[in-house]
Structure 1
Amino acid sequence: MFSSVLLVACGNNNENSSSNSSGTQVISQTNSNYYQGVIKDGHYLTSKSRGVSVQQNDNQLNLKGFENGLLGISKQHFPTDDYILQEGQYINTDTVEDWLGRKSKNNPDGLNPAGKDTKEPLYLQQMDEQDFMTEDHNALKIKGMTIGLGLNSIYYYRKEAYGAVYQKKLNDSDIIKQGKDIANKILQRLRKNKQLKNIPIVFALYKQAPNDSLVGGNFFASSVNNGSSIKSSDWKSLNIKNYVLPAESTKGVNNNDEDSFENFKNQIQKFFPNLSGVTAQAHYVDNSLRGMHINITTQFYGQSEIISFTQYVENMAEKYLPNNIPIDIQVSSTEGMQSFLSRKTGDKNFYTHVFTSY
């Protein structure tokens, strides 16, 4: 499962560094779609920045979409066959908390605008760091980094503690400007670390969905900064969208994709009419469907029913749902998940599993 033990990790010993003494291991790659990970002293190195946010994010789909999408962007610049993924170790938790705060006398490093919560919106909601390493003479050396910035599309605030929650829709032009300005400031700060002075650093900007959205947000821009550049430039627009099916509006959804899902939904509802709901999140890149996650909520609990239903869902999915894209189907009730089905890109058949309680 693990490759050879690394005796020394490269770098100095400052608190933002990934360097340390012996006991570092690299998890062997089992699938070319996944990065090798890093274990230190028997523990997986978790990100120091992930999960830190300005305020509680009520839409967990934002967090999931942010993390998964950031990984996809990183793979375009740091191939899984050439790099080892070390979750962010250079920006520690306290630093992230300061950066996510408002700029003030007490917090000069704050990346959100100075001012009162009722007047000035917060733009930067969350951030994540991914480090990309290579092995060199039994040591890990950082060769690249990706920074994801999660930006609010709606600013939620209270006028008094525990009072009513108000909201303000933020303009796209302001979101874009703020995101790029923040990326520039972070890039300049990272370049002060001599380990990060000459590596490529990728920034990706993510527009978060509203709290009541049934899908997560979308990455809308990225920038690759090579060498010792201290200004983030050459921004590339990203056409990535998530839609809920059945769709309230067909705008942005391919008609064939929507028809395929409707046929699938109608067939399984005919077979088991006591379903609470069948919905899907469709993931599009450059107007092309790249993946689908389907949730089916049931009202039955019998084991034989669940097994029969799961088998039927598999048959209908293979018959009606689009081919050549990854699809996950989750069947659940108020009791929890009952079964799931999954198909990878290029596969014809679904892998299925029915949960059994003993």
Structure 2
Amino acid sequence: MNAKQWKYVIPLTVALAVASAGCSLLPGGKGEGETQPAIPSLSPVVEVSEDYYGSIQPYQQNQTRGMLSSMGYRIDFSHLELGLMEIARETFPTADYLFQEGQLITRDQVRDWIAEEKAGAPNGKQKTSSLVHVLEHDYLRKDDQQLAGMVLGLSLTPEYQDATGQNKIYTIDELRAKGQQLAAKIVQSVRANSTEVPIVVALYQVPEPNSSLVPGRFIMSGTVNANEASVSKWVPIDEAFFLFPSGEAEKAYPQQSLQYDKLKRHIQSAFKEYIGITGVGRFMGGKLTEMTITATAEYDSRTEVLQFTQFAAAGIEQAFEKSVHVNLYVQTINQPLGIYIRPANGEPYMHIYRK
């Protein structure tokens, strides 16, 4: 493969797919006449595309930036932001719209929404709120650079306290219902500011506090038509991430866990140095759509890195079906060494770093 064929890649755990990368998982499309939100969808894998939104200059940051650092929750912000942009593309195509960070929702508004949620607890002493954060993205028409649509990302935690003060966990369906209730209030508040453009709402479940590798997930999306103040349709999103190897993955997906374990043993048995290998699998609708594998070893020789990457790539071909997008990242503790990417039903490519 020559240099012109090399491509840059984005890890799955930090992003959602751009629309051109694969088929949408939910039906959607634009109708004729006035722009109304399409049914949002997520693509199954991450691919690099030049079809990104342009922006206006000077670049303006949203007013809620930095709030999450003081809230004690870990949010894979890249996954959240790029996922919202992917959802937006269904309604606001990049050919016709520009992106701008949210300019309407303020820090005080987000704090008030969270405070209202706490005050609504049965015992009046709830220490946590199901609502963690609200992220706004704005979309402007290219021809006049006027606001034409919004996407709101509501980050939610399933942890809550019941009437007796005991800590509980919402089920996924309960969290979706809770998110819909919160979205109804927030949309009405946004509409009170005379914003009559179409709005797309996405519910995002934050990662578990004890997991530093598995990102959060989108659980539902809804659409608000222009000049309306309520969500007209909600669509559940069945997205899940699992760490490999882990007891959770083995219980939920035993066949995929077995395949991964065989691949791991196969790779580690061929090289003398210790190689730490971890994987993160993304499942959409219960089907494995992408596997990201990170191999960590202290290699001094670039030829050994090359041989290892080629050997691992051959094992990947045997372990996973062609429909599964696979990312392999070879690294030391401090620096990347090589990458191998096999797109779903596409041609694989590899790159070894010189330094």
Runs of 5+ unmatched residues, structure 2: 1-47
TM superposition shift of 1:186: 1.6
Please give the per-residue CA displacement for 1:97-121, whole angstroms capped at 9, x wherever unaligned. Answer: 5246423xxxxxxx54367996443
| SS across alignment from 2:136 | strand
Q: Which of these residues, 157, 167, 171, is aligned with residue 152 of structure 1? A: 157
Query: Are the equivalent residues in 1 in contact too, given 2:268–2:275 (CA < 8 A)?
Result: no
1:98 match: 111
Q: Tell me by how many angstroms 1:32 deviates.
A: 5.3
Q: What's the counterpart of residue 84 of structure 1? A: 98
Pick one of 134, 142, 146 that aligns with 1:127. Answer: 134
- Is residue 201 from structure 1 mapped to residue 207 from structure 2 by the alignment? no
Deviation for aligned residue 1:319? 4.3
CA distance 1:346–1:79, shift in 2 (3 Å): farther
Contact 1:35 1:81 in 2 (8 A): no
- C-alpha change, 1:204 and 1:308, in structure 2 (3 Å) is same
Task: Confirm whether residue 190 of structure 1 aligns to residue 190 of structure 2.
Answer: yes
Q: Report the 3-state secondary structure (helix = DSSP H, G, I; strand = E; otherwise coil) of the residue aligned with 1:179.
A: helix
Deviates more, 1:211-220 or 1:257-266: 257-266
Aligned partner of 1:175 in structure 2 is 175
Counterpart CA distance in 1 for 2:216 and 2:127 is 22
Offset at residue 328 of structure 1 (A): 2.3
Q: Is the CA contact (8 Å cut-off) linking 1:38 and 1:45 kept in structure 2?
A: no
Taking the aligned partners of 1:258 and 1:296, their CA distance within structure 2 comes to 17
Within 5 Å, give how 1:212-251 maps onto structure 2: 212-213=210-211, 214-249=213-248, 250-251=250-251
Map of 2:253 onto structure 1: 253
* Deviation at residue 223 of structure 1 after TM alignment: 0.9
Partner SS state of residue 89, structure 2:
helix
In 2, the alpha carbon distance for the partners of 1:52 and 1:88 equals 14
Q: Which residue type is aligned with residue 336 of structure 1?
A: Q
User: Structure 1 residue 347: deviation in Å?
Assistant: 2.4
Task: Name the aligned partner's letter for residue 185 of structure 2.
Answer: K
Deviation of 1:135 after TM superposition, in Å, equals 1.5
Cα gap change, 1:97 to 1:225, in 2 (>3 Å)? closer
Aligned residue identity for 1:148: G
The residue number in structure 1 matching 2:52 is 35
Q: CA deviation at 1:348?
A: 1.6
Maintained 8 Å contact 1:243/1:253: no
Q: 1:112 to 1:119 in 2, by over 3 A?
A: closer
Aligned residues: 301
Q: Output the CA distance in 2 between the equivalents of 1:343 and 1:117.
A: 52
Q: What CA distance in whole angstroms lies between the structure 2 residues aligned with 1:311 and 1:234? A: 48
Q: How far 1:265 moved relative to its partner?
A: 1.9
Secondary structure, aligned partner of 1:130: strand
**TM-aligned CA distance change 1:252 to 1:35, over 3 Å:** farther
Q: 1:263 to 1:146 in 2, by over 3 A?
A: same
TM-score, with length taken from structure 2 = 0.72
Amino acid at match of 1:216: P
CA distance in 1, matches of 2:273, 2:73: 29
Q: Given that residues 113 and 121 in structure 1 are in contact (C-alpha distance below 8 angstroms), is that contact kept between their aligned partners in structure 2?
A: no
- Percentage of identical aligned residues: 25
- Against the structure 1 CA distance between its residues 221 and 232, is the aligned structure 2 distance closer, same or farther, given a 3 Å change threshold? same
1:3 alignment counterpart: none
Residue deviations 1:171-219, cap 9 Å, x none?
Answer: 236533432222112211222334x31x221111112221112412221
> Counterpart of 1:76 in 2: which secondary structure?
coil
User: In 2, distance between residues paired with 1:238 and 1:170?
Assistant: 19
**Kept in 1: contact 2:294–2:328 (CA 8 A):** yes
Which amino acid is the alignment partner of residue 289 of structure 1?
L
**Deviations along 1:89-140, whole A, 9 cap, x unmatched?**
3324x3455246423xxxxxxx54367996443211122122223322xx22
Give the direction of change, closer, same or farther, for the CA distance of 1:348–1:191 in structure 2 (3 Å limit): same
Q: How big is the shift at 1:282?
A: 1.1
